[in-house]
Amino acid sequence: MALYKLLRPFAFALDAETAHRATVTALSMSPLLPLPDFGPELEQEVAGLRFPSPVGLAAGFDKDGEVADAMLGLGFGFVEVGTITPKPQAGNPKPRLFRLKEDRAVINRMGFNSGGQEAALERLRKRERRGIVGVNIGANKDSADRIADYAEGVKLLSPVADYLTVNISSPNTPGLRNLQVGGELVELLAAVREARTPGIPLFLKVAPDLESGDHGRIVRAAIDSGIDALIVSNTTISRPPLRSPHAGEAGGLSGRPLKALALEQLRAFRAASGGQIPLIAAGGIENAHDAWERITAGASLVQLYSAMVYEGPGIARRIAEGLKALLGLSQMANISEAVGSDAG
Ligand SMILES: Cc1cc2nc3c(=O)[nH]c(=O)nc-3n(C[C@H](O)[C@H](O)[C@H](O)COP(=O)(O)O)c2cc1C
């Protein structure tokens, strides 16, 4: 934290995307830190994988899989790279990433900028594969068959992924979120089921902007097609009250103003699923209290991104330590006991 406090004013003097690129480049050139030992309390099996800590890095920070091992060394229990599209694509015109400092939030309309799956495959093949790295896949904006894009991603990237996430919840690719509802979802899940490699868990990432009947339909479709976990959630297109001058920017909102909505959506998914499918919480998680609230509401794992922009990467370890303290206070020996303990 001390180091990040010193560096933050320099990073914040740059526009958000330039600062992000400089950070990823610096991390990719730094020697890898050894993986932390989180202790037995936080270790947990989810979807057949052993997670050393439930605190993961959400997709979007390491879009092209350049620094997953560096982030594991910095204290994340798992790292999700991507979203990666089949073909390389530039994404939306810049500026497209905004810090909302007064709100501890971020708005982005990156639009799946990605070096493409072939490049990611080559890069990820060179890893020595320490720690859990998931690969989040998407569809190209100009794709004539988006469902085929997902199937292709699942096939191609399985050899380098500990798990794969089917991301149909970005607000920045027009029409993408229609895949979350009805017949399209069933068709998509059938196609990825057909394309998947046995033994590689498949997660589905959803938006927080859903209506009341959607949760049950998504849960049923996911369970019926063998999806291993739901990630709740992506960024929101809604705009709770905001103070920052960037509040009017188009795109997905994340960070503190997403917290209440993401928790509400997690609770709705837990109620709809009754614990029959693991849930992974994301959206506005900033500290151990937030993580604990999601876990006790039913999440087996949590992910964060925006809070790291404000707090630095040490946030992952601080949350892990805080979770251990909260386990002790609740007289629980392992994090798995806390999952859903407040879900009713
Ligand atoms: C700049 C930025 C880029 C993102 N890109 C992706 C992405 O490519 N794929 C994805 O599934 N989620 C993406 N997300 C969403 C995050 O993974 C996460 O679901 C969301 O930000 C909520 O978590 P947070 O409030 O901790 O940031 C992005 C978020 C941000 C802030």
Kindly report, residue by residue over 153-167, the tens digit of the pLDDT: 999 999 999 999 999
Cis, peptide link before residue 165, omega less than 30° from 0: no
Burial 198-232 (b: 16+ CB within 10 A, else e): eebbbbbbbbbbbeeebbebbbbbbeebebbbbbb
Q: Percent of the chain having pLDDT more than 70? A: 99
> In this structure, which residue's CA is closest to atom 14 in ligand 1?
60
Give mean pLDDT, residues 111-132. Answer: 94
User: Using 50, 70 and 90 to split pLDDT, how confident is the model at 178?
Assistant: confident
Pocket, ligand 1, Cβ cutoff 6 A: 58-60, 63, 82-83, 97, 106, 108, 110, 136, 167, 170, 205, 234-235, 254-255, 258, 282-285, 304-307
Active-site position among 143, 169, 170, 225: 170
Q: Is the pLDDT of residue 78 over 90?
A: yes
Distance CA 83, CA 80 (A): 9
Higher-scoring residue by pLDDT: 227, 9: 227
Which of 71, 203, 234, 265 has most ligand 1 atoms within 8 Å of CB, for mutation?
Answer: 234
Give mean pLDDT, residues 261-272. Answer: 98
Q: Is the pLDDT of residue 1 over 60?
A: no
Cis, peptide link before residue 158, omega less than 30° from 0: no
Q: Is the pLDDT of residue 86 over 60?
A: yes
Higher-scoring residue by pLDDT: 9, 122: 122
| Contact present, 167 and 149 (Cβ < 8 Å) | no
> In this structure, which residue's CA is closest to atom 24 in ligand 1?
283
User: Using 50, 70 and 90 to split pLDDT, how confident is the model at 310?
Assistant: very high
Q: Is the pLDDT of residue 188 over 70?
A: yes
Lowest mean pLDDT among 183-187, 303-307, 322-326: 183-187
Distance CA 17, CA 251 (A): 15
User: Using 50, 70 and 90 to split pLDDT, how confident is the model at 11?
Assistant: confident
- For residue 128, what pLDDT is reported? 87
- For residue 19, what pLDDT is reported? 85
Higher-scoring residue by pLDDT: 339, 2: 339
Provide φ and ψ at 49, rounded to 5°: -110, 145
- For residue 258, what pLDDT is reported? 98
Atom of ligand 1 nearest to the CA of 63: 8
User: Using 50, 70 and 90 to split pLDDT, how confident is the model at 146?
Assistant: very high
Q: Is the pLDDT of residue 269 over 60?
A: yes
This prediction has a pTM of 0.97
| Residue 185 CA from chain centroid, whole number | 20
Whole-angstrom CA distances from 311 to 131, 254, 287, 295, 319 are: 23, 15, 10, 21, 11
**End-to-end CA separation in angstroms for the chain:** 37
Rounded to the nearest whole angstrom, what is the distance from the C-alpha of residue 218 to the centroid of ligand 1? 20
Atom of ligand 1 nearest to the CA of 254: 25
Average pLDDT of the residues of the chain = 94
Answer yes or no: 341 catalytic.
Answer: no
User: Using 50, 70 and 90 to split pLDDT, how confident is the model at 175?
Assistant: confident
- For residue 2, what pLDDT is reported? 67
Q: Is the pLDDT of residue 40 over 90?
A: yes
Atom of ligand 1 nearest to the CA of 112: 8
Give mean pLDDT, residues 87-108. Answer: 96
Q: What sign has the CA pseudo-torsion 287, 43, 130, 198?
A: negative
> In this structure, which residue's CA is closest to atom 15 in ligand 1?
234
